Amino acid sequence: MSLSRFGEAFQIGPGASGKNHDFGAAAWLEVTLDAQPTTGIALPGQLGRGDINITLMSGCDDCAVGAPADPEVSNLSGNAAFYLAGLEGTWFDFEDAADFIERGDGTALLAGTLVGREGSDNRWEVELEFRDRFDPILGDPIPADSPKRDLIADRFMDAGGPVDFGRWRYYAETNGELRGLGQHEGAVVRLWRMGPSFQVGHGASGRNENYGASGWLHTEVLSQPTQGPSINVSSGDFNVDLGRGCNLCAEPAMLGDGVIDTEGDFAFFLPGIGTDFIFDGTAPFDEFPDGTARMTGEIYRPDFPGQRFQFEVNFESHKAPGMFGYPPPYSPKLQLPTDFYTENGGDVDHSDWTYYEAFEGHLIGLGDFAGGELRFTRLGEAFQIGMGASGKSAEFGASGWLDLQIISHPDQGDEFTLAENSHGDINITLRDGCR
């Protein structure tokens, strides 16, 4: 059977499913029988019309990582996922990105493995179930004891800031367990809500303004480890960033076979300052369900390791195939040899790339560049992601031109100089397993 639109356009929004007030979607379908089953009962020649009616949940396959504290916007410190008072180590990160699932029935799940900062032997499985969701954007009230406001007061919209807790989601019920691993095998700690409801949204982690979540926890030790020292836990707190790209990391884009008309083997191209910047360690690239993304890390010049920057890039206005305005104007940016692309017999199909129409970032000088700062915004084509999108190889990657601006010069040494009539560039390969 083949399906096509009948009547009204496919619609998306609160109440759009036609079945309830939840965020959803619906459309009528014209159904055409193209072929009968090869065995079994034949289908009627006239199938009539169909319908799609669905509830849409943002973040149904999100992942969670520890939310880093931003001292400019938060009253909190620390970068760990969980704080467990009284437990050895106190601060815990996820061993890998944890699973965060929001369901259409008003429940959610957070599950992963925690590792103490002091060593890999201090490991726990954590699983939290959340129920009784309140969604103010759909008309629900904000629970009476919420929100948990850990950001600086002037960051919230009711004080003139950008963070609107009226767009967060809240879960009135939290229940779960910590189960010991390794030296803690046999230990079980009960977890349940303490204070405000579990909250999800931009700024909800309390540590930064990213898309995230947080909650306080009561604790009760149900059983001690079968071997090793006994444990005691008095309370808990968790603060996480949520995203769909938590396991993606960025690497410098290396020139692929047959690519000779462009420079490569770098992550950031900053003419006048350095055209060979690569990442120091991993550079997480996180995509969020609201159409934004973020990449952070540190870059340096291999031949001049003291010349380095800490960087952050924020992307907005995600465009994917089938969305209005796809592809963005002036895009794609095609830098590979023409015979790499499918329209010329190659394997790189830019028709399935995704884009971010807007992005901005800053580079904070470290080492020899301490005191210096650069800022940049999009120049030319939209930032593009996909197989061959780095412009340096056919691998899965991304790229975008930069309009660079000098904010300040290094405290010592030469001042920054941008090459005349030139622009910066990001060219990266994206891989799984960053964290």
pLDDT digits 0-9 by tens, 27-66? 999 988 888 888 888 887 667 789 999 877 544 557 888 8
> Distances in Å between the alpha carbon of 213 and those of 27, 205, 206, 314?
33, 4, 8, 19
Cα–Cα dist 237/216, whole Å? 4
- The burial class, CB within 10 Å (0-12 / 13-18 / 19+), for 289 is middle
Q: Which of 246, 232, 138 is nearest to 184 (CA)?
A: 232
Beta strands in 230-303 (DSSP E): 235-243, 248-252, 268-270, 274-279, 285-287, 293-301
Q: At 291, phi and psi to the nearest 5?
A: 90, 15
The pLDDT tens digits of the residues spanning 92-112 come to: 988 877 889 888 788 999 999
> Does the pLDDT at position 434 exceed 70?
no
Determine the pLDDT at residue 242: 85
Q: How far is CA 243 from CA 4, 21, 165, 306, in A?
A: 32, 25, 19, 33
Q: What is the pLDDT of residues 131-182, one digit of tens each?
A: 999 999 888 999 999 999 999 999 999 999 999 999 999 999 999 999 999 8
90: left (phi over 0), alpha (psi -120 to 50) or beta: left
Burial group, residue 242, by CB count within 10 angstroms (0-12, 13-18, 19+): buried
Block residue for tokens 């919230």: 156
Which pLDDT score is estimated for 341? Answer: 94
Scan for tokens 């003139």, then name that residue: 160
User: In this structure, which amino acid lies at residue 326?
Assistant: Y
- Structural domain spans, the chain: 2-55, 62-243, 248-432
- Sign (positive/negative) of CA torsion 164, 168, 172, 174? negative
What's the whole-number average pLDDT of the chain? Answer: 89
Tokens 């593009």, residue located: 384
pLDDT-based confidence at residue 419 (cuts at 50, 70, 90): confident
- pLDDT above 50 (res 427): yes
Across 279-283, 293-297, 389-393, 422-426, least confident range: 279-283
Q: Which residue do the tokens 């550079």 mark?
A: 283
pLDDT the model gives residue 402: 95
What is the share, in percent, of the chain residues with pLDDT greater than 70? 95
| Model pTM score | 0.54
- If phi > 0 it is left, if psi is from -120 to 50 it is alpha, else beta; for residue 139 that is left
No. of helices (H) and no. of strands (E), the chain: 0, 23
Per DSSP, 142 falls in state: P
**What length is written for the chain?**
435
pLDDT-derived band at 231 (thresholds 50, 70, 90) equals very high
Taking CA 83 as the corner, what is the angle to CA 146 and CA 73, rounded to the nearest 5 degrees? 55
Residue type (1 letter), 115: V
Q: Do 312 and 295 contact (CB within 8 A), yes or no?
A: yes
